[in-house]
Structure 1
Amino acid sequence: MRVGIIGLGHRLGYLGYVFRAIDESFEIAGYVDPAPAGLAELEAKGVSAGRQYASPAELIAGERLDLLMIGSPNHLHLDHIRIGLEAGLKVFCEKPIVTTIEDSLELAGLMGRHGHERLMVGLVLRYSPLYRDLRAAQGAGLLGDVVSIEASEHIEPYHGAFFMRDWRRYERYSGSFMLEKCCHDLDLYNGVAGARPERVASFGGRKSFVPANDPAKEGVNDLELFYRKPSGWESTDKVFDSDADIIDYQVAIVEYANGVGMNFHTNLNVPDQFRRFCVIGSRGMAEGDFVRGYLDVHRMLTGEKAVSNRYANETALSQHYGADEQMAADIVAHLQQGVDLPVSTQDALEAGILALSMDEARAKRSVVDLRPVWDRFDEALLRRAA
């Protein structure tokens, strides 16, 4: 399987190694990136990145490709996806696939013209054993009808500092923190809810990564924590006085079309991080945490614990609770054997629209009604080339 890469950052540098470990035929033929942050780690693991090209057009013209992988900064994804689709290629794009509502509608139109099966998206948590077990418990009727969801994604200060230093600190590149980091989680709970979100309210801002909280002002000299995670393009050494325009905490409430309610909380400065959920249904409840590695399901009538699963936080290959290698295996099987994937481009777009609506609600301090957006979205999905 010959692959071309647009945007050889740390993520695709890592995934290149994972795909190669899963499938020995995986070969990177070439890449486009003027400053490939992931190249050294890829080559250190014995995986060649092939030839460097100056542009996506030159890469596509110069190589016979079975798959185009996109890991460029988020705001460039739509153009790079379009180039791949118009060249007749299968495309894998890291999340989030686009950064605005308008780009979401444009990509929906591209899917209508080129086919949904042509684009795969790196919403890796859909492949995690924990989430698969949660959906299996739901499918077995252990929860009954889902009523409400409580969920969160909280990251440690070293990771929060990375966002304040990296290109992702600018919403014009990332879309927003909620979109860049939490679209994974929103996609999962959209799937559990079984309906589209209709109304959203949200509040948040930045209170932790601000000058008043800089430990250096208190005489702390060992600041390695805040530089532990490397950044690449457009990076800065500033953390607490960064020019970032993203938030470092946000809360949101969501009402789905079927009446399911959800509250979601994210924070970038949590010393003992967790990524947990509680799904409460008419027949039972499921509690889990991806970081702490558990899933418990209790029956409503008896209080009996029907599921008690424990998971490894990381595996030999995976940075995402066993999900990275499963995603690689599933995508290879999809390309070679036509096996269905657990997440679609439409799922990714719907999760992204929810994240963006949370930011709109936060900025406007008002409830956002998504029903008009879904009308436009469905119209775009149905578009066909004349």
Structure 2
Amino acid sequence: MDLRYGIIGCGMMGQEHLRNIALTPGASVAAIFEPDPAMRARAAELAPGAVMLDSVAEVVAHGAVNCLLIVSPNHMHLAQLEQIAAIRPLPILCEKPLFTDPAEAPRLAALRAAYPAPIWVAMEYRYMPPVAHLIAQAQTATGGIKMLTIREHRFPFLAKVGDWNRFNHNTGGTLVEKCCHFFDLMRLIAGCDPVRVMASAGQAVNHLEERYDGQTPDIWDNAYVIVEFANGLRAMLELCMFAEGARYQEEISAVGPLGKIECLVPGPGRFWPAHLGAAPVPQVIVSPRDPKGPQVLEVPVDPALLAAGDHNGSTFYQHQGFARVVRGAQAVEVSLLDGWWAVAIGMAAQESAATGQVVDLTRAPYAPPAGIGQR
């Protein structure tokens, strides 16, 4: 069975998806809705066989389309999922975050209860080769993870169409928009749900001199977040979005009684200075307690996949998995429940940083609503 995507939104991330769909065997793009003229023109160049349509409804109803990809601004995702459900429920790959307001929980639960087709929430970081290697080896290397640290030192938020990503009311806040990926990784690695969040965060450097219709952006650019899990694992996120000069953008470490495993992930190759030579290669490092001695493994990524996007090949691997779901060969790997938790942890972290209080994730509005389970 060939996949014929209908795509809703083809800005910067949507175009990365187009390039990766082009590399995915048995997949093509049949229809696109992108309201911005410049982005629509670029999407037409990347997917010349796709018809350009004028609404979400037209894409969903297009007869050639047999699966959907949502890559619109964050605050539009849930309403578009509901619109699709009312027209023609098809398998969906929906970009993160799944929603932006905890009050939307009942709507998400109702969608899950009624939607007859699979919905996969896009969490690309799971599929970065060095991160996937760490996840697969972490329990053996550590003897059972007790502490998990994720550090991201990266560039500021890029410019997006209409500057929608400059304001919390559109994004859900930095700890939702940017960091739901990391909270998803924490929960996946922990193997259980979180119970408490504490955070300190703010806007120290970025976007302070920018004005949009007279308003100053309110998205944060640095944070420390600690998440405690039901099994006793403690995880910490260290985020800095004005520190893009390092060799590696993400550093993840997991530690247990037998040792430590780390992965080092470079940022987008297009940002690496040419005068410094070849871009860094991802690494996984295992450091046992006994016998001591770090073991370094390079985890190179196919150059064709690196050229297709900014996420170390993970978007391609995600589409491979989604294709298997559409063909009935496997179950969804990132469910609505996973998408819920990734956002809920981020929102709790936003609240904790704003109030200075620890947030209990076992109570409303952060505990997942009944009915959001695996499909």
Specify whether residues 104 and 49 from structure 1 end up closer, same or farther in structure 2 by C-alpha distance, changes over 3 A only: farther
Q: TM-score w.r.t. structure 1 length? A: 0.82
Question: What is the 5 A alignment of 1:82-101?
Answer: 82-86=82-86, 87-101=88-102
Distance 1:164 1:248, change over 3 A: farther
Whole-angstrom CA distance in 2 between matches of 1:166 and 1:79: 20
Q: Which residue of the partner structure matches residue 285 of structure 1?
A: 260
Once the 2 structures are TM-superposed, how far is the Cα of residue 366 of structure 1 from its aligned partner? 0.6
1:357 maps onto 2:348 in alignment: yes
Seen in structure 2, the aligned counterparts of structure 1 residues 62 and 318 have a Cα distance that, compared at 3 Å, is closer
For 1:4, give the aligned amino acid: G
Question: Paired residue for 2:325?
Answer: 334
Distance of 2:76 and 2:66 partners within structure 1: 21
Structure 2 equivalent of residue 5 of structure 1: 7
SS at match of 2:6: strand
- In 2, the alpha carbon distance for the partners of 1:179 and 1:4 equals 26
Structure 2 gap ranges (5+): 267-279
CA deviation string 1:247-287 (max 9, x = no partner): 11111111111111112111111032421111111222111
Q: Identify the match of residue 231 of structure 2 among 258, 270, 279.
A: 258
SS across alignment from 1:379: coil
Cα gap change, 1:188 to 1:105, in 2 (>3 Å): farther
How many pairs does the alignment contain? 352
SS at match of 1:349: helix
Percent of pairs identical after alignment?
A: 24
* Paired residue secondary structure (1:371): coil
Asked if the contact 2:147–2:235 (Cα under 8 Å) also holds between the matched residues in 1, the reply is yes
Q: Distance in 2 between matches of 1:377 and 1:46?
A: 38
Instruction: Determine the C-alpha separation between the residues in 2 that align with 1:341 and 1:101.
Output: 23
The answer (yes or no) to whether the contact 1:8–1:37 under 8 Å persists in 2 is: no
CA distance in 1 between partners of 2:233 and 2:118 (Å): 32
Unaligned ranges ≥5, structure 1: 215-236
TM-score scaled by structure 2?
Answer: 0.85
Q: In structure 1, what is the equivalent of residue 335 of structure 2?
A: 344
Q: Structure 1 residue 131: deviation in Å?
A: 1.8
Aligned to 2:34: 33
Q: Does the alignment pair 1:297 with 2:286?
A: yes
**Equivalent position of 1:43 in the other structure:** 44
- The one-letter code sitting in structure 1 at the alignment partner of 2:317 is Q
8 Å Cα contact 1:206-1:247 kept in structure 2: yes
Distance in 1 (alpha carbons) for counterparts of 2:61 and 2:207: 47
Cα RMSD (Å): 2.7
Runs of 4+ in 1 over 4 A off after TM superposition: none
Q: Deviations 1:298-349 (Å, cap 9, x if unpaired)?
A: 2223224456233349723242112122112222222124224542222121
Partner of 1:118: 118
My pick for the range that moved more, 37-46 or 259-268, is 37-46
Conserved? CA contact 1:143–1:286, under 8 Å: yes
The equivalent position to 1:21 in structure 2, one of 20, 23, 33, is 23
CA contact (8 A) 2:322 2:332 kept: yes
